Amino acid sequence: MSGHASTLRRADNALLLSDVHLSAARPDISERFLHCLHQQLRGVDQLFILGDLFELWIGDDAADALADELGSSLAAIAATGVQIHFMHGNRDFLLGTQYAAKAGMQLLPDPSIVVSGQRRILLAHGDAWCTDDLPYQALRRQVRDPAWQREFLALSPAQRLAMAQQARDASRNHTSQASEDIMDVNPDQVVHAFAQHQVDCIIHGHTHRPADHRHAEGLRHVLGDWYQHSSWLRLRAGELSRHGRVLTSAG
């Protein structure tokens, strides 16, 4: 598993979400997402996007109209004083500094620790813990390699798109009808993450299985996808709530 989590930061007044999977084919999701941000970000200092904001990202230079518009909306939110932190998912791991800057987002390493109240919380996308899916982990190692990424980004957008679609088809064949997104995290990896990072709470997405798990080592909150509904967590000085329902009192 990956080494040390990034620099500690405080998150005493934050909104967290993941797996929006924005795409031109689903304008309803973009609409839901922007509507939710408009409503839920009032009075919030920080927004944490924990990966897979986009259904597919093949490079900042290939951003489509939807990405341009969304980037402008996020930049406008950032201009009001909301810090936007973006962590890569397995769909948008190629989102780079150029687009992030345009959208007013800061790139956040996976995993990262935040401190809220007295609580230490580990934030992750979650795919790195899905270690039971060996072919996926092999693919992950390949596409997260900087040399592979340089080569890939040097191809034309059309070539990149073709390769991405090929990889998607291969993955679909491998997992039959279950996509890589619905493989769950490995329990041993979760236990290891609590200990390695000395946290009492983990928040991640990726599995599209929103739930609040109680482990011996601490709490694990899984964010949901946005295909049919919005899905977010609110963090206030150690107190976590899901859609307004309090999950944990301030720690």
Give the footprint of Mn ion on this chain (CB under 5 A): 52, 89-90, 206
Residue 90 or 112 with smaller CB distance to Mn ion: 90
Residue 52 or 110 with smaller CB distance to Mn ion: 52
Shortest Å distance, C-beta 168 to Mn ion? 13
Residue 52 or 60 with smaller CB distance to Mn ion: 52
Q: Which residues pair with 212 in a beta bridge?
A: 221
Shortest Å distance, C-beta 181 to Mn ion? 5
Helices (H), 80-156: 97-102, 134-143, 146-154
Query: Nearest CA to 112 among 43, 199, 241, 27?
Result: 199
Shortest Å distance, C-beta 206 to Mn ion? 4
Cα–Cα distance list, 174 to 156, 180, 243 (Å): 27, 9, 35
The residue of the chain with the least Cβ separation from Mn ion equals 206
Residue 18 or 248 with smaller CB distance to Mn ion: 18
Shortest Å distance, C-beta 185 to Mn ion? 11
Shortest Å distance, C-beta 127 to Mn ion? 5
**Contact, 218 vs 194, CB < 8 A?**
yes
Residue 85 or 206 with smaller CB distance to Mn ion: 206
Shortest Å distance, C-beta 62 to Mn ion? 20
- What is the helix (H) or strand (E) element at residue 7, kind and residue range? strand 6-10
CB neighbour burial string for 12-41, b if at least 16 within 10 angstroms, e if fewer: bebbbbbbbbbbeebeebbebbbebbeebb
- The values of phi and psi at residue 127, to 5°, are -70, -25
End-to-end CA distance of the chain: 27
Residue 88 or 119 with smaller CB distance to Mn ion: 88
Query: Nearest CA to 34 among 234, 230, 240, 243?
Result: 230
Cα(91)–Cα(106) distance, rounded to whole angstroms?
18
